[in-house]
Structure 1
Amino acid sequence: MSQTAPRIAPLEPPYAAEIQSQFDRIMRGAPPLMLFRVIAGNVRAWEKFRAGSLLDRGPLSLREREIVIDRTCARNGCEYEWGVHVAAFAEGARLTEAQVRATVHGDAGDECWSAAEQALIAAVDALHARATLDDAEFAALSAHYDEARIFEVILLCGFYRTVSYLANGLALPLEESAARFPR
């Protein structure tokens, strides 16, 4: 994306008190991301986005969650959101440089992943390609994850596909502090 401004103008500070409070809750006091500032300019879109309730911790570990999010964003060509997540969470999720690279350029069989993580990557790839899991893919996922975690994987894939559509479709400029896709 070569644009320096998104296709829809973001909110600019000072923000309304309620919006500022919501930004503070999500960003824990850091400046709000361009994505949030653009979506928050449309009240209905912002309420629906926040109602997705997938901005919380959930039943997956940070590492599992970030593998799903990073792979989903990478598969959707969404450098914006992939880069935000890698910059903010890769270290805390203990993702190695090889694993971060594999979220973009690897596949489920890469040796850098555990068997459980390979099942996660395969599930993300299947959902991206076909919007479903076949019996073998579901069985592989079920061998490592309970029902609550499987629901979370599927929900995260759908939510971050939507985030990818928003970031890509609105041509959001990459955040300065975000990571870039490995070449």
Structure 2
Amino acid sequence: MARITPLPQSDWSAEMAEFIVGFRSAARGGVLDESRPAGANLLGTMARYPGLSKAFLAFNGHVLNGSTLSRRDRELLVLRVAAVRQCDYEWAQHTLLAREAGFTDEEIARIAEGSESSGWPERDTALLKSVDELLGGGKITAPTWRVLAGEFDERQLMDLVFTVGTYAMLAMALRSFEIEPEDELVPHLPVR
């Protein structure tokens, strides 16, 4: 059971409801897809604190839509954060997005294994390592940075660091508030 009970959508202020609809639409590239899980548990929890929610979700909107990273690169980073932080909600939500970005189920499972899993090209290995290094030591090491700097421009490198940081923070909130994935979010984090 969640430590902070999600506010039912019927109890959201009109301003919060309008903001969430705009965020969800922007997160889906301007199209609000009602057939896709809406994240009611997370958004309902966030609706309890509109000021914080609007500020965080506006920034998160950049990470999802305004980032210079490709969708594929972003989802590789986010899923690795979810695996390292053992965040089922984030894993479930972003498994769906990773599939949309072209990942196979086998590749998604290997993301949980990390950069030591065989078969990753050097670029993806460096992305996976960057997550582990940022979460473990707070900095991308020089060898990993060299590989990344050969593949990404300055803005992409900045987006990479802020993507990892944003989703690490979100994972902490999801786990601390004990927000459970909705029933329709089937993928669960592989047991380690």
TM-score norm. by structure 1 comes to: 0.89
Aligned to 2:124: 117
- Map 1:1-150 to 2 at 5 A: 3=1, 6-14=2-10, 15-28=12-25, 29=32, 30=34, 31-52=38-59, 53-87=62-96, 89-104=97-112, 106-150=113-157
Post-superposition CA distance 1:56-95 (Å, at most 9, x none): 24111110010011101111111111111102x1222111
Aligned to 2:28: none
- Aligned mates of 2:165, 2:98 — CA distance in 1: 21
- Aligned mates of 1:72, 1:113 — CA distance in 2: 17
- Aligned mates of 1:182, 1:126 — CA distance in 2: 21
Q: Which has the higher contact order (CA 8 A, sep 6+)?
A: 1
Aligned to 2:177: 170
- Aligned mates of 1:135, 1:13 — CA distance in 2: 47
- Aligned mates of 1:146, 1:55 — CA distance in 2: 18
Q: In structure 2, what residue type is equivalent to 1:93?
A: A
Post-superposition CA distance 1:114-169 (Å, at most 9, x none): 22111100111110110101211111111111111111110011000110011000
- Aligned mates of 1:33, 1:81 — CA distance in 2: 13
- Aligned mates of 2:83, 2:190 — CA distance in 1: 11
- Aligned mates of 1:69, 1:146 — CA distance in 2: 20
CA contact (8 A) 1:99 1:112 kept: no
1:7 is displaced (CA, Å) by: 0.7
More helix by share: 2
Query: Per the alignment, in what secondary structure is the counterpart of residue 167 of structure 1?
Result: helix
Closer, same or farther: CA 112–40 of 1 in aligned 2, 3 Å:
farther
TM-score norm. by structure 2 comes to: 0.85
CA contact (8 A) 1:23 1:32 kept: no
C-alpha RMSD of the superposition: 1.6
Gaps of 5+ in 2: 26-31
Aligned to 2:188: 180
- Aligned mates of 2:86, 2:190 — CA distance in 1: 12
